A and B are shown apart, each in its own frame.
Chain A
Amino acid sequence: MKRLLDKYITKMVRQGLAGEDSIFFLGLDAELESNRPSEAGSTELARVFEMMNINSLLYAEPAEPYRSIICSLTEQGEEKLTPSDCETRTFLHDIPVIEELKASEIFKALSRRKAAIIRGKGIVAHGTVSPEQAFVSFSSACFSAFVKFFTDIMFSLEDCRKKNLPADERTRRSFHDIVSKLPPDGISENPVAPRVPEQEDDVYASIVKTGTALVDNRLVDSYFGNISYVHGNKIYISQTGSSLDELETCIDAVPLDGSSSAGITASSELSAHIGIYRATGKKAIIHGHPKFTVIQSMSCRREGCDLSTCYKTCRIPRFIDGIPVVSGEIGTGPTGLAHTVPEAMAGRNAVIVYGHGIFIAGSDNFSTPFDVMRTVEQKCRKEYFRAMRRLL
C-alpha cells in the first residue's frame, strides 16, 4: 500500500497538482498507512476510515493556480461546484464543498461523491479499489475547477458588458491574481521526432514516447487522453484508464477487422480512433484535453440555443482557428463523439469536441499531431486572453 501511496504522491508533485508537503495520503489494507502518520491531519483523516468502506483517502492543498482557483470559486458560500466540461461532468457529476477538514464532514460529502472541496483550503478524494482513484478524482477536480473558473469569469464579464455594467472589482482582482500564477505557455522544441515507425516495436515505442511528451509538456493531464497508431491491420491504442506517461505495458493491439475482442480494455475512445482512421486514412492519432482548448470550445453562447444541451446536440458549424468544433458525448451512443468526430474529420487533421478536448490525426507519425495540439492550445490561450482584455 505504501508503495502505491508514494507512487501517486510523486505523480501529484510532478504534474504540478500539489507540493509534497501539503499532501496527506492514507491507504488501508489490514493496516492503515499514511505518508505522514504522526501529523494531526492524518489523525483526523484516519477517523474517516472508521466511518467509510474505502481503502484510500487523499487530502491536499493543491498547488497554484489551482489553490487560488478553488478559493475563488467557493468564496461566495457555494455548496457545490458543477463542472462545465463534459468529461468531469460525466464522471464527477458535481463537487460538494465542505467547511472543515473534519471526519464527519468528509464522510458526508464523500459518501455521495468522489471528491470534495474544503472551502478555502483543499481537495479531498477517496478510493475503494486503489489510491489511484483518489489521485484521478483529485486531478479531475483540479482540471474541472480550472476550466470552470476561466469559463465562468468570461461569461460573467460578457453578461456585464451586455448589460453595460462594469466588471466588479473582486472579479477583476481575482482574475489578475490567478493569471499571474499560471505557468508560462509555450514549448520551445517539439520533442516528438517525425519518425515513421516501421516495425511493431517502433510503434509501441513511439506511442510511449508521445504519451510522455504530452504529459511532460502539460498538454494533457496524465489520465485525460489517448493515443493510437495504425500499423498493418491493427490499431495500437492506449488502454482505458491508462496514464499517458506510463504506457509501456498499457497498449492494446486491436485488429481492424474486429477479429479479436482482446482490445475490450482499450481506451473508451477506440471507436472514435478507428472512425477517424477510416475517414481519413491517417494513422497517428492523439486525443487530449488541453485546458484552454476546452475553455474556448465552450465560448459559444449563441442566442436562441438551449445551452444545457450544446455538448451533445449542437449541430451548428463553428470553427476555432479553422478547426471544427463539434458536440459529442463520450463513447458510441447516438450523440456520441464516435460518430461526430470521424464525420467532421474527413479532409482535415483536427476536430475539437465541445467541452471535452481535441482529436488530431497525422498521416504517419506523431510529430505533426503533437505540434498541432500545442499550437492550437497556445492560440486558444492567446485568444482567450485577447477576449478577456476587451472585456476587462
Chain B
Amino acid sequence: MYGYTSKTLRVDLRLKKTEIISTPTGLNKKFMGGRGFGVALLGKRILNEFDSPDMPLIFSSGPLVGTAAPTSGRSSVISRSPLTGTVMDCSVGGKFGTALKKAGFDCIEIVGIADSGVTLTIENGRATVEDAERLTGKNVEEVRKLIGGKGSDAVIGIAGEKGVKFASIVFDGHYLAGRGGLGAVMGAKRIKAIKVKGDGAVPVYDREELQKAREEIMRLLRASQAVFGELGLSEFGTSAFVDLIHSRRMEPTDNFRATFYDFASSYSGYRLKNRYKTKKTGCAGCPVLCKKVGERGEIIPEYETVSHFGALNGNNDVESIIEANRLCNDFGMDTISTASTLSCYAELEGAVPGPDEMLALIKKIAMREKGPGEALAEGSYRYAQLQGRQQLSMSVKGLELPAYDPRGAYGMALAYATSNRGGCHLRAYPISHEILRKPVATDRFSFEGKARIIKIAEDMNAVVDSITACKFVFFAASLEEYAKAVSAVTGMDHDAQSLLKTGERIYVLERHLNSLNGFDINDDDLPERFFAEEGSSSPNIQVKPLDREEFLAARNNYYRARGYGQNGVPDSDLLVSLGLGEYL
C-alpha cells in the first residue's frame, strides 16, 4: 500500500509485550491516518477512564508523513483527556511521525499499565519495552540526555508522572502534544519516554505528480505574506500574532477581564527576535520553519504562551515569560492551561503574582505540592469549582481558552463552544478568516454565515490532521493542492471534497464518542463573562459582550449544519450515512 507502512505496533505495558499487527484494512480509506486513525482505533474504549489499563494511548502518522509534501512531518497523539473527559487529539510537530514511519509503523497503540517506569524503544521494525526506573522523577531535559542517541523522542516530565491534569508530552525537546493532559495518560501508564529511529523509505505512488503538487503548494506559500512575508510566520513564528491581536483589541488580559494590554510590545515577535537573536527551526519536512530558538538555545514560545504568561497574567517581564515556557516544557505541562489556571487563581485570590511568584507557582503545580500547587494541578475548572466560583475558569469543557478573546471574533466564539475537545482555537481556526483574511476576510463581529463556515473548517482541519499537514500552510494553500499530494502519494483518487468528507466522518465520530460519555448541548457553551462584560473598547473598535440570543441562534444553526439533533448530538442515521454504523 502506498503512503502507509501497513503496520501498527501494539504495546501492552503490563506484559511488557510488543506485537506487530497489520494496520486494519479499510482504515486508510475511511479515516486517512493521523488523528483519523487515532479516533477510529480509540472507538468505544473512550468509555474507560483515562487512567484505566484499557484506555489506549495512540501515536499515529499520516500518508504524507515522510514524503516530499510540504509540512509532512506532523503526527497525532490520541486518547481520552484527563482534563476534559473528551476524546483528545493533539497534532505534534518535530520528527517523531517521520521517524515512526521510517521505522516501519503507521501507528503505535499502547495499553496496560507498567509496574514501574519504562521506556519504549522502536528501531527499524523492532520494538522493546525496557525498565527505566532511573528516569522516574526526572524532567524532560535530563531524561533526553540520559536516553540520548539519534532519532526522535517523546518524553514526559514530572508533571505527567504526577498526573497534572494538563500535563503534556514533549517531542524532541521542543514540540508538544500540549493540550488536554495526554502527558498524564502517559504518566498513568508509567511510560516515561518513547524513542524511535528508522531509515526506511515511504512508498510513493507517483513521485512526479507529488513533485507537481509540491510546487503548487510552494508557489502559494511563497505568495503568502502571512507565511513567508517579512512580517510572517517564517520570520517571527506565531509570536508575529502578538502585535496583530493587540491591534484588534482582542488579547485576553487579566483572566479575560480586559482585551487590551498596554505592554504587549514587550514580548512581540519583533522584540523576541531582536532580544534573543533568533534562528529558524521547525518540523521535519517543513519549508516554513516557524519555530524559533535564541542564540543561547532559548526556546522562543508560541504566541499563545507569550500572550497568556504576559497579558493574561498582567506580566510584561519577558525573561519570566521565556522561563515560564522553559519550565512548562521541562516539567511537561501545557502552557495555555498553566497560564490560564494561574490567572484564574489570581482573580480568585484577588492578587496578581509577580514574575518570581508566577515561576514558583508553576513548579508547585508541576510537583503537585500541597496547597495551591495541588489544587491548581487539577486545572482551572476543577479548582474554581471547588471554591464555588467555576464561572471564573475561562474554559470550555474544562479546557482553558487560548489567546483570542471570543468577543473579538464571533466565529471563534462559536468554535470554542462547539469544539469536540473543549476550548481550542485549532479545531476550526476561524482566526484565519476573521483576523488574517485567509482565504478571504469575514466580518469578525458577526455570526452571519459562521455556523456552516465552522462546520466546514472543522472537517477540513480534521482531515489536515490526518493526512498529515500543518494548519499554518492553509493560510496560503488549500485542500485542492493537498488532495493532489495525497492522491500522488497513496494512489487513491482524492479531491478537496472527498477529503472534506473524510474530515466530517472523523469529526462526527469524535462527537459521537463524546456523547457516549454524556457530552451534549449543555457542554457547548462559553463562560458567562463573555455575555456580561464588555472588552477593552476604543473609539474605533467596540468590543461588546456577546449577545446571548445571537450566540444561541448561531449554535443552533451549527447543529443544523452538522445534522445533529436538538441536543447537539449525532443520531444513528447520520452515523450510518457517514459509514460509522459500527460505532453505534
Contacts and interface: CB of A to CB of B under 8 A. Distances in A.
A260 interface: yes
Nearest to B451: A29
Given A3-B448, A53-B456, A268 B224 contact: yes
Interface string A101-114: 00000010011111
Contact of A133 (B225, B240, B440): B440
B268 A260 contact: yes
A240 interface: yes
B534 interface: no
Q: Is the interface of B mostly helix, strand, loop or mixed?
A: helix
Contacts of A112: 480, 483, 495-496
B543 interface: no
B260 interface: no
A333 B270 CA distance: 21
Interface string B237-275: 000111110110000000000000000010011100000
B442 A330 contact: no
A52 interface: yes
Contacts of A22: none
Contact of A258 (B231, B438, B440, B504): B231
Interface string A122-136: 000001111011001
B236 to A, nearest CB: 6
Contacts of A353: none
Given A52-B497, A264-B229, A259 B270 contact: yes
Contacts of B223: 90, 268, 329-331
Given A260-B268, A261-B270, A270-B230, A28 B452 contact: yes
A165 interface: no
A172 to B, nearest CB: 36
Nearest to B239: A261
Contact of A129 (B268, B439, B451): B439
Contacts of A90: 219-220, 223
Contact of A107 (B437, B438, B497): B497
B222 A55 contact: no
Interface in A335-361: 336
B566 interface: no
Contacts of A54: 456
Nearest to A271: B230
Candidate in B265, B480, B504, B560 with the most chain A CB atoms within 10 angstroms: B480
A241 B437 contact: yes
A1 B448 contact: yes
A327 interface: no
Interface string A307-343: 0000000000000000000000111110010000000
Contacts of B230: 258, 270-271, 274, 332
B412 interface: no
B501 to A, nearest CB: 7
B557 A30 contact: yes
Contact of B456 (A55, A110, A258): A55
B410 interface: no
Contacts of A28: 452, 561
B228 interface: yes
Given A28-B452, A241-B441, A261 B556 contact: no
A263 interface: yes
B243 A261 contact: yes
B240 to A, nearest CB: 4
Interface in B548-584: 556-557, 560-561
Contact of B229 (A239, A270, A329): A270
Contact of A264 (B225, B433, B460, B504): B225
Q: How many of chain A's residues touch chain B, expressed as a range?
A: 35 or more
A112 B213 CA distance: 13
B51 interface: no
Interface in B203-232: 216, 218-220, 222-226, 228-232
Nearest to B481: A93
A265 B222 contact: no
A254 interface: yes
A267 interface: yes
A196 interface: no
Contacts of B228: 331-333
A4 B448 CA distance: 9
A250 B501 CA distance: 34
A262 interface: yes
B577 to A, nearest CB: 12
Contacts of A128: 453, 456-457, 460
Interface in B436-492: 436-442, 448-453, 456-457, 459-460, 480-481, 483
B270 A136 contact: no
A266 interface: yes
A332 B229 contact: yes
A264 B560 contact: no
B172 to A, nearest CB: 27
Given A29-B557, A258-B230, A53 B459 contact: yes
A90 B560 CA distance: 35
B500 interface: yes
B150 to A, nearest CB: 31
Contact of B222 (A93, A239, A267, A329): A329
B231 A261 contact: yes
A338 to B, nearest CB: 9
B521 interface: no
Contacts of A274: 230
A130 B497 contact: no
B476 to A, nearest CB: 9
Interface in A9-45: 27-30
Of listed A51, A128, A136, residue having the most chain B CB within 10 A: A128
Interface string A234-250: 00000111100000000
A52 B557 CA distance: 18
B385 interface: no
B498 interface: yes
A223 B454 CA distance: 25
A93 B497 CA distance: 17
Interface string A48-91: 00011111000000000000000000000000000000000011
Nearest to A267: B225
A29 B452 CA distance: 5
A29 B229 CA distance: 33
B194 interface: no
B435 interface: yes
A263 B235 CA distance: 13
Given A258-B230, A261-B269, A332 B222 contact: yes
Interface string B268-285: 111000000000000000
B497 A268 contact: no
B378 to A, nearest CB: 36
A184 B208 CA distance: 46
Contacts of B224: 268, 331
B448 A330 contact: no
B246 A113 contact: no
Contacts of A136: 440
B225 A266 contact: yes
A114 B498 CA distance: 15
A242 B225 CA distance: 13
B337 to A, nearest CB: 26
Contact of A55 (B437, B452, B501, B504): B452
A111 B448 contact: no
B437 to A, nearest CB: 5
23 contacts: A29-B452, A29-B561, A52-B497, A54-B456, A55-B449, A55-B456, A93-B216, A107-B497, A113-B480, A129-B457, A133-B439, A239-B437, A260-B268, A261-B242, A264-B225, A264-B436, A265-B437, A268-B229, A274-B230, A329-B222, A331-B224, A331-B225, A332-B228
Top 4 nearest A-B pairs (CB, nearest first) are A333-B222, A30-B557, A330-B223, A111-B497
Given A90-B219, A264-B243, 14 more contacts: A3-B448, A29-B449, A30-B451, A53-B497, A129-B439, A130-B433, A241-B441, A263-B231, A264-B241, A264-B436, A267-B225, A268-B229, A271-B229, A332-B229
